[in-house]
Amino acid sequence: MNPGPDAGGRAADAGSGLRHEDLQGGPPATDSRTIIQDYLEAATRRKWLALGVFLGVLAMITLSIVKTTPVFQARTTILVTDNNQGSLFGKEGTVFWPSGPNTANIVELLQSRSLAESVAKRLPDSALPSGSAVAARPVRNAEIIEVIASAPTRAAAVSVANAYADAYEQYDLGLSRLDVSAIRQFVENQLAVVGSRLDSSEQDLAQFKTAHKLTSIDEATRAMIERQSDLAAEYQRTLTEAKGNQAQLSFVQGRIAEEGKSMADVDAISSPLVAELKGTLNQIEVDKTNLLIRGFAPNSERIKVLDRQIDSTRARLRTESQKLITRQGFVDPAGHLNDLLESALTLNTGLASSQARQAALANALAGFDTQLERLPEAERQLARLTRDVETGRRVHSLLSERYEEARIREVGRISSVRIIDRASQARQTRPNVRSSLVAGLLLALVLAVGAVVAAENLDTAIHGQDEVERRGYAVLGSIPRLSLAGRRTKQNEAVTSHLITHTDFESSGAEAFRMLRTALAFTSAERPMRTIAVTSPGPSEGKTTVAVNLASVLAQAGSRVLLIDGDLRHPALHTLFKRGKKPGLSDLVVLNVSPAEAVFPTGLDGLSCLPCGTIPPSPADLLTLNATRALLERLETEYDYVVIDTAPVLVAADTPIIGTLADTTIMVVRADRTTLDALNRAGSAMLSGGAHLSGLVVNDVKRTGRYGRYYYYYYKYHYYRHGQQKANGVRTREGTEDEGAAPEGQG
């Protein structure tokens, strides 16, 4: 316990005892080997804590793996292209689709609720279990998207991944056919209307002819009717074309609104030159229509001239539109919006041209109606009915052609989605048993180490001799954990098992007390130490056992030893030796009882015992009496050694007083129980009162680990020696230095 400059001093270095200024116990001296030893010792000492934390964390990780619902993942890869270009109605209706798909929009669509509902309708309930989830991820620098489906079973994951790819393919197909489908639907509806009207007109014509006995009309009227029918068919074609352009324009405007939310309206994108070119184009279209109405053939020279003017004006209009779009400054890295805007402007121009031709044809038809009004009533009625039938037939024929064209175009539109790799198998992603176990093992190891470190930081107890020596305390001896159960001598049943040096004198524990005796002998070389007080910081730390066995080994060495029970609060020696506690120490001091009446033999050669006697109301006052000092001085003359078992320092005020009466004091600390703080306070209390402390005795040291290594080697040596003695017929006797098997238990 001597934290002097030469930290770690042994008993031989403690000749001058401990000083009061040496009790501050600085930080332990450390080197790399010491640190490693500390870690190993802490791991050994806390092995059950570490093992418990390690197994507990590992069990929780394992339980979580077992309880986790499996998740399987399947992948389907799709390629997104754009294969749909062109228009149903020629140059004026040509739509220039975007040059590439918007993969960001497609990813969002694949993860949308509407597509999930579509997939749910496609798959049966058994194939779409709860817990299914889908994610889409674009492949970098490619127009490829991975559809990743997660589900509780492998089959479900594969089914869901493929179902999403199929559903989006159908959705994209419907989207690509949207404009053409609108035109086909319009033509189909018109066919139904025109067909019904044609049937009615034919019935009316037949009934009129039957009723008026008229079967034909003159050639001039028939020629006029045929001409009017041609114009009516052309009017219907122009009307259908205008409707188609309108449908495509609505579709393109929807795409523009979707991809360019902050963009200005298409109608607002214009310039004086563009407006002039649109007006010129419309006028040329009207002039061409008027020439056709007047009977010019489509391949006539004047019509060809107008066609060339129309083509030239359209080309200029397209060029100016592109310049105008470029000047708008839209942020469009891929050119999607520019293509859409160009398509919208082209469709706008075509729609205006169709409407202009439609107006010219309507005026021409109105002129023919005026001519019919000049005919006689019956002939006029027959001509009108005949015109309606001829017009209906030609319009129906034209619409039938347009319907077939629209249907073929619709079927010809293919999806821009190509499924490259369909999901065929799924891999388990959760729980990942291998990764989870590795992570669990690492976590368990870290927490186990953390628990050991935390326990060590919170634990201030002394664990062994090396620890206190590194902190600068002088250690006289280290007593291993003793096995006391049922050990009694055959010679004297009154001697209890606490006398390990007598009941099991060949044990490592007995040898430890003999080593303590030797250490005291070295200590007393400079200062006679005949009266030895044995104390401890607190109760149950083994001071009584140390005092009894120290007195025993001193007696075994041939000395006359008196063991005094100086614990006047909780005496124990009379119980250990099966004697009464009266008369005793207090009776000798107060009542002047003769020592011969109080001291009793212990049954061990050279060892006598003085019990405590009557417990006084104030032990400290009793010990301060001069009679107490005189008694001890008298006993010193009668015995070679006087060993006093005192009360714990921190629970009794009388122990420091006994320390001043004794030549030296031994402080007993118990491994894994006594704290450094308690040791410091106890030492300070003793030294402050003027006591002389020789050093520490570390009691109850476990035999495992570094602190018990000496006892292993000693036992090995003695076992060999003891075996040789038995072989030679030599019997060991009480008081020899021979050693037997090391007992276990509390000392």
Q: How far apart are CA 478 and CA 707, in angstroms?
A: 9
Handedness of CA 412, 418, 423, 429 (dihedral sign): negative
Residue 45 placed within a domain: no
What is the DSSP secondary structure assignment for residue 403, as one 8-state letter?
A: H
Task: Indicate whether 214 and 270 sit together in one domain.
Answer: yes
> Which pLDDT score is estimated for 550?
93
Q: What is the pLDDT of residues 617-663, one digit of tens each?
A: 888 888 888 888 988 989 989 999 999 999 999 988 888 989 889 99
The answer to whether residues 108 and 235 belong to one domain is no
Helix residue spans in 431-507 (DSSP H): 433-458, 465-470, 500-503
Q: What is the pLDDT of residues 319-362, one digit of tens each?
A: 877 777 666 655 444 445 666 666 777 777 777 777 777 788 77
Let me know: does 687 contact 575? Beta carbons within 8 Å: no
Cis peptide before 431 (omega within 30 of 0): yes
Give the separation between CA 27 and CA 468, rounded to whole angstroms: 10
Hey, what are 151's tokens?
A: 């589900």
In a domain, 436, yes or no: no
Q: What stretches of 570-679 adopt beta strand conformation (E)?
A: 600-601, 607-610, 641-645, 664-670
* Distance (Å) of CA 123 to CA 116, 166, 437, 471: 11, 11, 36, 76
* pTM listed for this prediction: 0.53
Q: What is the number of structural domains in the chain?
A: 3
Q: 265-269, 670-674, 741-745 — which one is most confidently predicted on average?
A: 670-674
Residue 419 lies in a domain: no
334 in any annotated domain: yes
Give pLDDT, residue 667: 92
95 and 191 fall within a common domain: no
Report if residue 640 sits inside a domain: yes
Query: Is the same domain home to 408 and 522?
Result: no
Looking at per-residue pLDDT, the higher value among 262 and 585 belongs to 585
Q: Is the pLDDT of residue 434 over 80?
A: yes
Residue identified by tokens 């352009």 is: 245
126 with 184, same domain?
no
* Residue 245 in this model has a pLDDT that exceeds 90: no
Whether 117 is in a domain gets the answer: yes
Residues 595 and 672 in one domain: yes
Q: Are residues 172 and 182 in the same domain?
A: no
Domain C-terminal end among 377, 412, 447: 412
Pair 89, 148 in one domain = yes
Same domain, 722 and 608: yes
Q: What tens digit of pLDDT does each residue of 93-140 get? A: 444 444 445 677 788 878 888 788 878 777 776 555 565 688 888 888
Comparison of pLDDT for 215 and 457, the residue scoring more: 457
Tell whether 335 and 389 lie within a shared domain.
Answer: yes
Question: Tens digit of pLDDT for each residue in 494-508?
Answer: 455 577 777 777 778
Instruction: Establish if 56 belongs to a structural domain.
Output: no
Domain match, 189 and 160 both:
no
- Please report whether residue 742 resides in a domain: no
Task: Grade residue 56 by pLDDT with cuts at 50, 70 and 90.
Answer: very high
Is residue 184 domain-shared with residue 245, that is, in the same domain? yes
User: Could you list the residue range(s) of the whole structural domain that residue 141 is in?
Assistant: 71-176+426-430
